[in-house]
């Protein structure tokens, strides 16, 4: 067992749940995770999808036993608002990179911009940028990029549900993007510039939504640090059941005991299709387990959470 695993195992129990941080520009996602570990006094903190250091907005975190639920939270869709700067290309595809090309001619008009944005709707393949955390051979691509290396990257399927032009004041356009998880808006910005024939890069980005979490729930790190100092930060944790978006089923003491022992339960009065998932609550209303409807229509434990203490 690693030293970190031993420390986590030896920790006193504490509040669990989800926290939505309004990530500031200049912070990495790992910076936010490290800060949350201090706020809550635990090593057991994880994020539900990174943001680039330049980006701001919604960064959901899982605290303590809520880390066991990350894979069950539907992070689709992602919603972003950003600015694309036409006429300048950078090596990182955003404003933090070195300029690699400048367009000297006239910039496209608004009608051309709107037309190009619509060509991105639907599913298509996107190649991850070299400056990204995607690993190749166990090495993050950004480390290779910093050494001046460029390698072949396998394209990934992404989905763009909406790509809306909010304003256009050449050379800058403000856009809103609704997309699938795993979409790089930096790549979209560069592709917009390429299709318009003038090049471009992502000048700024704010994530407005990540699945069930949105900007109205997000709190700035300084406010969270102040609340942690006063012992009030636990009140910011969001209910796990609400984040999961599953139907809830409150169990009797006997059924809760059976679930803890790995036994399946009958569906009772509800009729659910195989593969459907249910959030099982213990008699106090605390989240106990994730159940899944098996082919025989019984509810089988998929993930049991023995110590989850957050409100449900």
288 with 229, same domain?
no
> What pLDDT, in 10s, does the model give residues 209-223?
999 999 999 999 999
CATH of residue 254 = 2.30.130.10
Number of independent structural domains in the chain: 3
Residues carrying an active site annotation: 52
Q: Say if residue 193's pLDDT is above 50.
A: yes
Same domain, 252 and 146: no
Residues 122, 86 within the same domain: yes
Cα separation, 175 vs 208, whole angstroms: 12
pLDDT of residue 311: 41
Token readout for 58 is 């919604």
Q: Is 232 exposed, middle or buried (0-12, 13-18, 19+ CB in 10 A)?
A: exposed
| Band of residue 6 on the pLDDT scale cut at 50, 70, 90 | low
Instruction: Describe the crossing of helices 185-196 and 110-118 by its angle, rounded to 10 degrees.
Output: 130
Q: Which residue has the tokens 């229509």?
A: 297
Quick: pLDDT tens for 44-87: 999 998 999 999 999 999 999 899 999 999 999 999 999 999 99
188 belongs to a structural domain: yes
Q: Is the pLDDT of residue 305 over 90?
A: no
The whole-number pLDDT of residue 308 equals 44
- Rg over CA atoms, the chain: 22
**311 domain residue, yes or no:** no
- Count, in order, helices (H) and strands (E) of the chain: 8, 17
DSSP 243: H
Residue 312 lies in a domain: no
Q: How many CB atoms lie within 10 A of CB 264?
A: 17
Shared domain for 169 and 251, answered yes or no, is: no
Residue where one domain finishes, among candidates 241, 261, 295 = 241
Residues 84 and 199 reside in one and the same domain? yes
Q: Among 23-27, 117-121, 268-272, where is mean pLDDT lowest?
A: 268-272
Q: Is the pTM for the entire model greater than 0.95?
A: no
56-63 and 200-210 beta bridge pairing:
parallel
Of 155, 187, 210, the residue that ends a domain is: 210
List the CATH number of the domain containing 84: 3.30.2350.10
**Cβ atoms of 100 and 89 closer than 8 Å:** yes
Residues 200 and 136 in one domain: yes
Q: Is residue 281 included in any domain, yes or no?
A: yes
pLDDT for 309: 39
Determine, yes or no, domain membership for 310: no
Instruction: Report the largest interatomic distance among the alpha carbons of the chain, rounded to a whole angstrom.
Output: 74
Do 106 and 124 lie in one domain? The reply is: yes
- Do 53 and 90 sit in the same domain of this protein? no
Would you say residue 309 lies in a domain?
no
pLDDT of 300 reads 96
Is there a contact between 58 and 22 (Cβ–Cβ < 8 Å)? yes
Specify the 3-state DSSP secondary structure of 114. Answer: helix
Please check whether residue 207 is in contact with residue 80, taking contact to mean a CB–CB distance below 8 angstroms.
yes
Give pLDDT, residue 56: 98
Do both 206 and 217 map to the same domain? no
Q: Are residues 205 and 82 in the same domain?
A: yes
Whether residue 181 is contained in a domain is answered as yes
Same domain, 85 and 201: yes
Task: Determine the structural domain holding residue 293 and report its residue range.
Answer: 246-304
Asked if the structure places residue 288 within a domain, the reply is yes
CB 109 within 8 A of CB 99: no
- CB-based contact 285:250 (threshold 8 Å): yes
pLDDT given for residue 5 in this prediction: 52
Q: Is the pLDDT of residue 129 over 90?
A: no
Task: Answer yes or no: do 178 and 218 share one domain.
Answer: no
The contacts of residue 284 (CB under 8 Å, 6+ apart) are: none
Per-residue DSSP letter, 252? P
């Amino acid at each position: 067992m690693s030293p970190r695993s031993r420390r986590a195992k030896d920790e006193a129990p504490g509040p669990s749940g989800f926290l939505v941080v309004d990530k500031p520009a200049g912070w990495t996602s790992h910076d936010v995770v490290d800060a949350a570990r201090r706020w809550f006094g635990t090593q057991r903190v994880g994020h539900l999808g990174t943001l680039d250091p330049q980006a701001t907005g919604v960064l959901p975190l899982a605290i303590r036993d809520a880390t066991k639920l990350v894979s069950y939270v539907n992070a689709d869709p992602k919603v972003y608002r950003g600015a694309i700067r036409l006429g300048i290309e950078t090596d990182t595809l955003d404003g933090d990179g070195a300029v690699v090309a400048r367009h000297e001619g006239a910039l496209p008009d608004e009608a051309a911009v709107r037309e190009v944005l619509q060509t991105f709707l639907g599913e298509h393949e996107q190649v991850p940028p070299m400056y990204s955390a995607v690993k190749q051979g166990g090495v993050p691509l950004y480390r290779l990029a910093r050494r001046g290396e460029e390698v072949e990257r396998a394209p990934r399927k992404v989905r763009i549900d909406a790509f809306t032009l909010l304003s256009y004041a050449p050379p800058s356009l403000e856009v809103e993007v609704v997309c699938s998880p795993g979409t790089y808006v930096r790549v979209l910005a560069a592709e917009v510039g390429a299709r318009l024939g003038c090049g471009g890069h992502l000048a700024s980005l704010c994530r407005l939504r990540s699945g069930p979490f949105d900007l109205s729930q997000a709190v700035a790190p300084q406010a969270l640090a102040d609340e942690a100092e006063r012992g009030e930060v636990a009140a910011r944790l969001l209910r796990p059941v609400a984040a999961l978006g599953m139907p809830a089923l409150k169990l009797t003491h006997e059924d809760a005991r059976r679930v803890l022992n790995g036994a399946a339960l009958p569906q009772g009065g509800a009729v659910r299709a195989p593969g459907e998932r249910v959030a099982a609550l213990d008699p106090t209303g605390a989240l106990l387990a994730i159940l899944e409807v098996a082919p025989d229509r019984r509810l089988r434990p998929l993930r049991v959470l023995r110590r989850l203490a957050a409100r449900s």
